[in-house]
Structure 1
Amino acid sequence: MTLLLIAATAAVSLMMLMAWLPEFRAKGALLRRWSKGGGEPRCSKAVQSVVEAFIQGFSDIHNLTVTETARIREMKSRPGMMPVTLLLHPQLVRREKGRFARGRNLTAVFVSTGVSALIMPPLAGMAMHNMSLWLLPFLNTAVFFAGLQLLRYAYSDLGLMNVLVTGKAD
């Protein structure tokens, strides 16, 4: 049982690390910082080109029209509302009948978060009796909260992206 829980912890930790990888890259951090910092109009051309590259990349992956891409580009004037999570993680959603819906990768993040919540209590109990397992509950807690945060941001951005692309509210 212990080996099964350790393997499950390792699997969900690696899955969550792979899901968060775009956030750790320099350009991903720059996009997030630009969004949080208000995206001042006097930003350097390098920052503007990174933002534009993320928008174009999202547009290319989901085959958006020029009009739909232009609606997303208009959000550069309001960087606090920019759907940064979906620009960083375009694989979390898929296009379905003109709207964005939850993709396989977002479902995988959801399942990993649930699995980490399910295996956390038994691992904590085992760690109380075996000091060599003390790191596993902490790892599961980190995975759980990282998954929760990614889900929260992705679902929020999903609604905003549907409004931007279709031009009408849900």
Structure 2
Amino acid sequence: MTLLLIAATVAVTLLMLMAWLPELRAEGALLRRWSKGGGEPRCSEAVQNVVDGFIEDFSATHRLTEAETARIREMKTRPAMMPVTLLLHPQLVTREKGRFIRGRNLPAVFVATGVSALIMPPLAGMAMHNVSLWLLPFLNTAVFFAGLQLLRYAYSDLGLLNVLVTGKAD
């Protein structure tokens, strides 16, 4: 049982690490800082190039028209409203009949978050009696909160992106 829980913890941690990889890159951190800091519309050209690059990548991934891409580009004047999570993780959504819906990676993040919540209590109990297992509950806690944050931002951005691209509310 212990080996199964350890294997599940390692698998879920690796899955979440792969999901968070774009956030950990320097460009991802710059985009996140730009949007949270209010990112003045007239910020440096390097920052503008990074933002434009993420918008172009998202547009190319989902084959958006020029008009739809322009609507997303217009959000650069309001960086706090920019759908940063989906720009960083375009694989979390897919486009179907003109609307964005959950992609196949979003349910995987949801399952990983749920699995980490399920295996956390037994691992915490085992770790109380075995010092070598202390890292595992901490990993599960980190995975749970990272997954929860990613899901929360992705679902929020999904609604915003549908309004931006289609021009009408859900």
TM-score when normalising by structure 1? 0.99
Residue pairs, 1:13-24, within 5 angstroms: 13-24=13-24
5+ unaligned residues in a row in structure 2: which ranges?
Answer: none
Distance 2:25 2:107 in 1: 23
Structure 1 partner of 2:4: 4
Are positions 1:141 and 2:138 aligned together?
no
What residue number does 2:109 align with? Answer: 109
Letter in 2 for 1:61: T
Could you tell me how far 1:102 is from its partner in structure 2? 0.5
Amino acid at match of 2:20: W
1:168 pairs with 2:163: no
Does the residue aligned with 1:149 lie in a helix, a strand or coil?
A: helix
Rounded Cα–Cα distance in structure 1 between residues aligned with 2:100 and 2:19: 19
Runs of 4+ in structure 1 deviating by more than 2 angstroms, as ranges, are none
Give, in angstroms, the shift of residue 39 of structure 1: 1.5
Query: What does 1:64-83 align with in structure 2 at a 5 Å threshold?
Result: 64-83=64-83
**1:167 CA displacement:** 0.1
Deviation at 1:124, TM superposition (A): 0.6
Q: Is structure 2 residue 62 aligned with structure 1 residue 62? A: yes
Name the counterpart of 2:118.
118
Structure 1 position 165, deviation (Å): 0.4
- Further displaced range: 35-44 or 153-162: 35-44
Any conservation in 1 of the 2:41–2:76 contact (CA below 8 Å)? no
Q: Which residue of 1 aligns with 2:38?
A: 38
Q: Number of residues paired by the alignment?
A: 170
Query: Whole-Å Cα distance in 1 between the matches of residues 9 and 106 of structure 2?
Result: 19
* Helix, strand or coil at the partner of 1:110: helix
Distance in 2, matches of 1:42 and 1:163, equals: 25
Instruction: Return the alpha-carbon distance in structure 1 between the equivalents of residues 130 and 34 of structure 2.
Output: 45
Amino acid in the other structure paired with 2:29: A
RMSD: 0.6
Q: Which amino acid aligns with 1:40?
A: E
1:1-44: CA deviations, max 9, x gaps? Answer: 00000000000000000000000101001101110111213311
**SS of equivalent residue, structure 1 residue 94:** strand
TM-score of the superposed pair, with normalisation by structure 2: 0.99
The equivalent residue for 1:53 is 53
CA distance in 1, matches of 2:6, 2:26: 31
**2:134 maps to amino acid:** W
**Identity rate of aligned residues, in percent?**
86
Q: Distance in 2 between matches of 1:142 and 1:109?
A: 13
**C-alpha distance in structure 1 between counterparts of 2:48 and 2:132, whole Å:** 48
Structure 1: gaps (5+ residues): none
